């Protein structure tokens, strides 16, 4: 079988049959199946429409949508016809969407709803290459440009006499003309500074990554995935979509981040591709459950079990663990649906203590590492030897080494073709066949990688000391009442921090300490609360060098959001943006010169 995603799909359909269902969408209280039969019919119909639009191989097609069946149909129709998909986050601003469509020269834009249609309609006249807008939602669009919007439902339901056998033959013929070096997609990095760069990924990039990840995770047709990260996210697209699909697993779409707890119980997944934020929220919810209990034997048992998990007080084969499991840990696992094989965490640093806590309770979290430019997985912890605090070992076919300044360098078939229309950045990133990740790290004697910081985010104090802010931020984020923390200190006398508390947890902390307040802002200014937080921070950073320790902090009332600009779509903090936005709060923590 060729290393192309189209041949992978055809092989999957031949193995599983036309009645097989890989995708499920929740509508009202029911999960609606989407079969292989429907998939190939809609792919064929969309290809016919691409012909009518006179699109040519290599033309670009933007997709702005949450995860749904139409995303998958559009993605594969583009592949079979030789078009290049350009996924766009739904959370992006109008100006960001304009930049991506303009830079990629997309000729067609698929979008999911009226809100996104409104965004694109406002810039349509400024996009010289954009010829067609197609909406997934079956809704009235007459108020937009006199109805110059096509409906996906009309495109994929034409009168056709093609038999399923003929459709498969047609798709096989299209696939035969595709080679592994052909471009599949241009994925624009969410970037914490400047305009995003378009990462060009080929069939071979994805296929080798899929094959190598399967060797580690051993996914099969009994596995169930709950998909909540967007397909615009390179990590979810490869691991939660392509990998899951081609291994025969079932994929259930989460309706939103907020519905995940309820859908975990409904779907009972065996795999969840995740970012650390979900695990942190889950952990904090567990701790809050214990805090909310009335004083008594139940609360004492809960505290004993949780403390034991943190301290690893006894082995998992002991009687004590079995008692803790029967009374507490089993109930924690039931919150995930009770069938989880693995949470696979990426896209950011997993707190080591959080991972070890879940492991002790019977929930395994496998942390991995990757980037859009590497299709994306570079390494992952193998289930047979999971080392928390590391991002695992390189997957099959991937070579990793450290530069003289400990930057992680990567080579292999996973490395992107380059940045679209940006040879300068491509040459700066890929040198002599090695991709320079921008991450600083270590490799232990067993080959496990540990990320210590981003090369560009290292802080140099005015005293000439270099500090890795990510390490300090990870430490402080372990406090249940802290939602986000950003370390400040570049060219400064000492280290400070901007802290966004978890509103509910901080309010609870105030109530426990009998602090009176009228508004939430009163809590942030309260001297006793600030003293409690200072003591907790001092305790956590006691092992840091004196010049690394946070001397002052500022509590922010605002929440960091993607829409507000503080976070990238992959939930990474935009340091430069935050430092500029909260310049006054930062300056107040330093003496005036």
Neighbours of 261 (CB within 10 A): 14
Per the omega criterion (within 30 degrees of 0), is the bond before 266 cis? no
**DSSP assigned state of 93:** -
Helices (H), 268-361: 276-292, 297-311, 319-324, 330-334, 352-361
pLDDT tens digits, residue range 459-485? 877 777 778 788 898 889 889 899 999
Distance (Å, rounded) from C-alpha 358 to C-alpha 365? 7
Establish how many alpha carbons lie within 13 A of residue 138's alpha carbon, considering only the half-sphere containing its beta carbon: 6
Distance (Å, rounded) from C-alpha 304 to C-alpha 299? 9
pLDDT at residue 1 tops 70: no
pLDDT tens digits, residue range 492-527? 889 999 999 999 999 999 999 999 999 999 999 999
Distance (Å, rounded) from C-alpha 59 to C-alpha 463? 53
pLDDT tens digits, residue range 155-197? 997 666 789 999 999 999 999 999 999 999 999 986 555 678 9
Predicted pLDDT of residue 458? 74
Contacts of 353 (CB under 8 A, 6+ apart): 310, 478
Backbone φ, ψ for residue 209 (5° rounding): -65, -40
First to last CA, the chain: 68
- Say what angle helices 5-16 and 36-52 make with each other, to 10 degrees: 140
pLDDT at residue 203 tops 90: yes
**CATH 3.30.300.30 residue ranges in the chain?**
458-587
Distance (Å, rounded) from C-alpha 115 to C-alpha 117? 5
CATH homologous superfamily for the domain 5-20+36-179: ANL, N-terminal domain (3.40.50.12780)
Parallel/antiparallel/unpaired status of strands 150-151 and 30-35: unpaired
Q: Is 261 helix (H, G, I), strand (E, B) or coil?
A: helix
Predicted pLDDT of residue 593? 55
The whole-number average pLDDT for the span 78-105 is: 95
Parallel/antiparallel/unpaired status of strands 30-35 and 21-27: antiparallel
Predicted pLDDT of residue 146? 52
- Asked which of 320-324, 348-352, 425-429 is least confident by mean pLDDT, the reply is 348-352
pLDDT tens digits, residue range 294-312? 889 999 999 999 999 999 9
The whole-number average pLDDT for the span 244-265 is: 96
Predicted pLDDT of residue 480? 87
What's the Cα-to-Cα distance from 446 to each of 390, 405, 443, rounded to whole Å?
11, 21, 8
Would you identify the CATH topology of the domain 458-587? Answer: GMP Synthetase; Chain A, domain 3 (3.30.300)
Predicted pLDDT of residue 250? 98
**Cβ atoms of 458 and 467 closer than 8 Å:** yes
pLDDT tens digits, residue range 108-152? 999 999 999 999 999 999 999 999 999 999 998 888 765 589 999
Q: Binning pLDDT at 50, 70 and 90, where does residue 213 land? A: very high
pLDDT-above-70 percentage for the chain = 97
Contacts of 200 (CB under 8 A, 6+ apart): 183, 185, 186, 416, 417, 418, 419, 420
- Say what angle helices 203-217 and 5-16 make with each other, to 10 degrees: 50
What's the Cα-to-Cα distance from 316 to each of 132, 172, 207, 324, rounded to whole Å?
59, 51, 38, 10
Distance (Å, rounded) from C-alpha 300 to C-alpha 286? 15
Predicted pLDDT of residue 159? 64
Backbone φ, ψ for residue 394 (5° rounding): -55, 140
Neighbours of 118 (CB within 10 A): 13
pLDDT tens digits, residue range 30-74? 999 999 999 999 999 999 999 999 999 999 999 999 999 999 999
Predicted pLDDT of residue 99? 94
Per-residue tokens: 50: 């691409």
**Among the listed residues 321, 376, 310, the one whose alpha carbon sits nearest the alpha carbon of residue 346:** 376
Predicted pLDDT of residue 326? 97
**Among the listed residues 441, 449, 491, 485, the one whose alpha carbon sits nearest the alpha carbon of residue 466:** 491
Distance (Å, rounded) from C-alpha 489 to C-alpha 470? 13
The whole-number average pLDDT for the span 190-217 is: 89
Q: Binning pLDDT at 50, 70 and 90, where does residue 335 land? A: very high
Identify the residue whose tokens are 């003591």: 535
Q: Binning pLDDT at 50, 70 and 90, where does residue 385 land? A: very high
What's the Cα-to-Cα distance from 66 to each of 102, 129, 325, rounded to whole Å?
21, 24, 38
Q: Binning pLDDT at 50, 70 and 90, where does residue 568 land? A: confident
Predicted pLDDT of residue 574? 84
Helix (H) or strand (E) holding 30: strand 30-35
Establish how many alpha carbons lie within 13 A of residue 444's alpha carbon, considering only the half-sphere containing its beta carbon: 13
Helices (H) and strands (E) in the chain, counts: 23, 27
Predicted pLDDT of residue 48? 95
**Cβ atoms of 239 and 267 closer than 8 Å:** no
Establish how many alpha carbons lie within 13 A of residue 517's alpha carbon, considering only the half-sphere containing its beta carbon: 21
**CATH 3.40.50.12780 residue ranges in the chain?**
5-20+36-179
The whole-number average pLDDT for the span 387-392 is: 96
Predicted pLDDT of residue 147? 53
**Among the listed residues 445, 469, 443, the one whose alpha carbon sits nearest the alpha carbon of residue 455:** 469
Predicted pLDDT of residue 131? 94
**Cβ atoms of 414 and 377 closer than 8 Å:** yes
**DSSP assigned state of 573:** B
Distance (Å, rounded) from C-alpha 2 to C-alpha 180? 7
Per-residue tokens: 365: 């979290």
**Cβ atoms of 150 and 135 closer than 8 Å:** yes
411: β partners: 399
Predicted pLDDT of residue 277? 82
Per-residue tokens: 393: 């070992």
Predicted pLDDT of residue 280? 85
Backbone φ, ψ for residue 357 (5° rounding): -60, -50
Identify the residue whose tokens are 């803790």: 324
pLDDT tens digits, residue range 259-288? 999 999 999 999 999 988 889 889 988 988
Q: Is 396 helix (H, G, I), strand (E, B) or coil?
A: coil
pLDDT at residue 218 tops 70: yes
């Amino acid at each position: 079988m060729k290393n192309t995603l189209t041949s992978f799909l055809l092989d999957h359909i031949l193995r599983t049959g036309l009645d097989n269902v890989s995708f499920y969408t929740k509508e009202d209280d029911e999960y609606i199946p989407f079969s292989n039969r429907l998939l190939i019919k809609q792919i064929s119909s969309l290809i016919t429409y691409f012909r009518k639009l006179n699109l040519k191989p290599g033309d670009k097609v933007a997709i702005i949508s949450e995860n749904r069946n139409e995303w998958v149909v559009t993605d594969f129709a583009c592949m079979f016809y030789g078009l290049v998909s350009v996924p766009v986050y739904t959370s992006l601003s109008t100006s960001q969407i304009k930049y991506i469509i303009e830079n990629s020269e997309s000729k067609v834009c698929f979008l999911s709803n009226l809100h996104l249609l409104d965004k694109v309609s406002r810039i349509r006249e400024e996009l010289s290459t954009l010829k067609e807008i197609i909406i997934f939602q079956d809704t009235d669009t007459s108020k937009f440009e006199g109805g110059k919007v096509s409906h996906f439902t009309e495109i994929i339901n034409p009168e056709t006499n093609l038999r399923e056998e003929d459709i498969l033959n047609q798709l096989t013929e299209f696939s035969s003309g595709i080679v592994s070096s052909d471009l599949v997609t241009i994925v624009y990095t969410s970037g914490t500074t400047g305009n995003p760069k378009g990462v060009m990924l080929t069939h071979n990039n994805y296929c080798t990554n899929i094959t190598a990840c399967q060797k580690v995770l051993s996914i099969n047709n009994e596995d169930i995935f709950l998909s909540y990260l967007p397909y615009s996210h390179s990590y979810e697209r490869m691991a939660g979509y392509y990998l899951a699909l081609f291994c025969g697993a079932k994929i259930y779409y989460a309706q939103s981040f907020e519905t995940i707890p309820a859908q975990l119980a409904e779907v009972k997944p065996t795999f969840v591709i995740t970012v650390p934020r979900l695990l942190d929220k889950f952990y904090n919810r567990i701790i809050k459950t214990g805090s909310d209990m009335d004083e008594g034997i139940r609360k004492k048992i809960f505290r004993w079990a949780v403390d034991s998990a943190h301290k690893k007080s006894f082995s998992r084969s002991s009687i004590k663990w079995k008692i803790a499991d029967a009374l507490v840990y089993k109930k924690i696992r039931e919150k995930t649906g009770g069938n989880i094989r693995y949470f696979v965490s990426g896209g950011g640093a997993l707190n080591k203590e959080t991972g070890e806590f879940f492991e002790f309770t019977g929930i395994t979290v496998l942390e991995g590492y990757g980037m859009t430019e590497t299709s994306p997985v570079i390494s992952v912890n193998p289930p047979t030897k999971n080392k928390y605090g590391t991002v695992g070992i390189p997957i099959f076919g991937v070579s990793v080494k450290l530069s003289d300044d400990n930057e992680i360098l990567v080579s292999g078939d996973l490395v992107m073709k380059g940045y679209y229309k940006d040879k300068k950045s491509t040459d700066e990133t890929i040198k002599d066949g090695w991709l320079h990740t921008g991450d600083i790290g270590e490799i232990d004697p067993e080959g496990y990688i540990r990320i210590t910081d981003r090369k560009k985010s290292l802080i140099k104090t005015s005293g000439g000391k270099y500090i890795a802010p990510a390490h300090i931020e990870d430490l402080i984020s372990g406090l249940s009442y802290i939602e986000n923390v950003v370390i400040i200190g570049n060219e400064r006398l000492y280290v400070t921090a901007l802290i966004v508390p978890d509103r509910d947890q901080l309010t609870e902390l105030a109530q426990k300490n009998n602090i009176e307040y009228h508004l939430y802002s009163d809590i942030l200014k309260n001297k006793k609360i600030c003293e409690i937080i200072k003591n907790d921070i001092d305790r956590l950073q006691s092992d840091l060098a004196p010049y690394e320790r946070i001397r002052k902090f500022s509590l922010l009332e605002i929440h960091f959001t993607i829409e507000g600009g503080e976070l990238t779509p992959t939930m990474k903090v935009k340091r430069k943006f935050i430092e500029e936005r909260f310049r006054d709060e930062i300056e107040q923590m330093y003496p005036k010169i």
